[in-house]
Structure 1
Amino acid sequence: MPNGSLDNHIFLKKSRGVSLTWEKLNEIALSIARGIEYLHEGCDVCILHFDIKPQNILLDHHFTPKIADFGLAKFYPKENDFLSISKERGTIGYIAPELISRNFGVISCKSDIYSFGMLILEMAGGRRNSDMRAARSSKAYFPSWVYDRIKAGEDLELLNFTEIDDAIARKLCIIGLWCIQMKPVDRPSMSKVVEMLEGSIDNLQLPPKPFFSSSQQNSMRVIESDSSSELQISESIEE
């Protein structure tokens, strides 16, 4: 694709990608959501992608996104309430908790929605959600930091802001936070996500704060580390 993958344009510190406007970021997020909605609800058999991340979103001449790399995808019969798979799959940093431990819930289309939430939070932040180099900083985990900023009504400290840009950024962050709720049942469906992206931020409420305490994050890292040898990942853990 002529404009490469989305990560080349949202992580600008590590690339020479074109700086995308907030309106374009919103359009890209909405197009990705509609694509996932089609996979989940528009086909005769629901298709779970299991590896939604910036590297797997390709951009054409007009920056219209295309979901790529279906190597981990699996059919999901619509009459089922859950999916049984023999191995964890996905990319660490985007993988839903229930794919690491069934104690968090059952595997379903909500697993892709978690990954999408992490994706749009990175789009809004212009950075990786986890930055271990900032381990002693409140910004080490972007979803936790941005949740606290929005709840307090504080400035998001993001780049190139106008009042309209601020509304778009807050909307993307709030929707992302809904998508990364730890229990799958608490996440919206992708059709609901599309509806939220098409609507105004005035219609959105901040969700409960997800699984963010430092002790819980450390526990998740241990689980991820123990499971990493079984994960079918297409990039290194540092990415």
Structure 2
Amino acid sequence: MNAACSVFGLGMLALLACYIKRRYSKKNQDIDGFLKKHGPLPTNRYTYRSLKKITNSFKDKLGEGGYGIVYKGKLPNGNLVAVKLLKESKGNAEEFINEVTSIGWSNHVNVVTLLGFCFEGQRRALLYDFMPNGSLEKFIYAKNSHRSLNSDELFKIAVGIARGLEYLHRGCNTRIVHFDIKPHNILLDENFCPKISDFGLAKRLQGNNSIISMSGARGSVGFIAPEVYLNGFGSVSHKSDVYSYGMLVLDMVGCRNNANAQVGHSSEQYFPQWIYKQLEKTDECGHQDRLDGEERVTQRKMILVSLWCIQTNPSRRPPMSKVVEMLEGPLESLQIPDTPSLFTPPISQPISSSNVMVTV
């Protein structure tokens, strides 16, 4: 009897192993078929085994987000890389490769460089250049211990991000809407040059069409545009990234944190109204006494541009090409826009502001 049970158990294990192997083989056939259909990818493909060697068995963890864990690694040539090991995804192989293709064909100084990817069954990973200064949120939120950035550095970072978004919206082979622009997704190299990263929520624009059809909203609390998750605010398009950019820059100059400290969570006052009052007093975010003349001009310019970017009606927001022009032009050419109304975005929370999906 025991011998019969053992034989039966071994038979079941063999069937299970065969089933897993066939499913794994089918997934690889799916991705191989996709690659044959669409041609070679503009980046390298790595095995999971090679990733373990590159990361020393995933020993050095750099950070963790809603879509995966990032590890530090070193290529055989000695170059340092960041390896993002994605959490198990319900998406199919084509969706993942579409994402790889979107980033892989991008080539801009302010967009992170994709060095490679891994796809083996449920194991999926992306390899990027290692950014020694990490992400922007480490430098702009007061609770973090990293050194603060001066107004000139912040301005250059703001312009770099704007140029990167302008490229994604208009300049690259495949126009892309990022949908998750926030300090956590802006990486800084050794010279504090910003790189837009994390394209997990990105959508590609089809042809000349700028309007995106979506069944559910995507983005991060505090940065997501109102039209992305509420009907009646306009169409979802590249202008949704413009809104997120405006919120990001307001965080960079400290406006939202200062508004939160002075107005309080319980207040019904909409924080742009607080900013407008500061503008009237020529004290943009409550710390003009710490700034010299040139720094005040830079801060005021960043705030005015941000207020244009966060207009409730998407058609009132400038495209990113115009944002770059406004930032690099004279302050005297910028007018104060109308106060946005009817929508109160939550104050962003450092570190814990993770990706959220909101059903429309």
Compute the TM-score of the two structures, normalised by the length of structure 1. 0.83
**Bigger helix share:** 1
**1:125: Cα distance to partner?**
1.5
**Contact 1:124 / 1:169 at 8 angstroms: preserved in 2?**
yes
> What is the distance in 2 between the residues matched to 1:14 and 1:146?
22
Q: Deviations over 1:100-124 (max 9, x none)?
A: 1120000000000000000001111
> What is the distance in 2 between the residues matched to 1:163 and 1:9?
23
Among 133, 137, 143, the residue aligned to 1:14: 143
Aligned to 1:84: 213
RMSD of Structure 2 on Structure 1 (CA): 2.3
Closer/same/farther in 2, CA of residues 117 and 25 from structure 1, 3 Å limit: same
Note the 1:1-239 alignment, pairs <5 A: 1-11=131-141, 13-125=142-254, 127-128=256-257, 131=260, 134-135=264-265, 142-150=271-279, 152-156=280-284, 157-158=286-287, 160-211=290-341, 217=344, 234=355
**1:128: Cα distance to partner?**
3.9
Closer/same/farther in 2, CA of residues 40 and 197 from structure 1, 3 Å limit: same
**1:137: Cα distance to partner?**
5.8
Q: Report how many residues are paired.
A: 217
**Contact 1:46 / 1:76 at 8 angstroms: preserved in 2?**
yes
Task: Tell me the SS of whatever aligns to 1:102.
Answer: coil
Compute the TM-score of the two structures, normalised by the length of structure 2. 0.56
**Contact 1:58 / 1:68 at 8 angstroms: preserved in 2?**
yes
Q: Which amino acid aligns with 2:276?
A: Y
**1:56: Cα distance to partner?**
0.5
Q: Which amino acid aligns with 1:77?
A: Q
**1:34: Cα distance to partner?**
0.2
| Structure 1: gaps spanning 5 or more residues | 222-232
Closer/same/farther in 2, CA of residues 25 and 155 from structure 1, 3 Å limit: same
Closer/same/farther in 2, CA of residues 130 and 73 from structure 1, 3 Å limit: farther
Closer/same/farther in 2, CA of residues 106 and 121 from structure 1, 3 Å limit: same
**Contact 1:10 / 1:126 at 8 angstroms: preserved in 2?**
no
By relative contact order (CA 8 Å, sep 6+), the higher-ranking structure is: 1
- Identity of paired residues, percent? 47
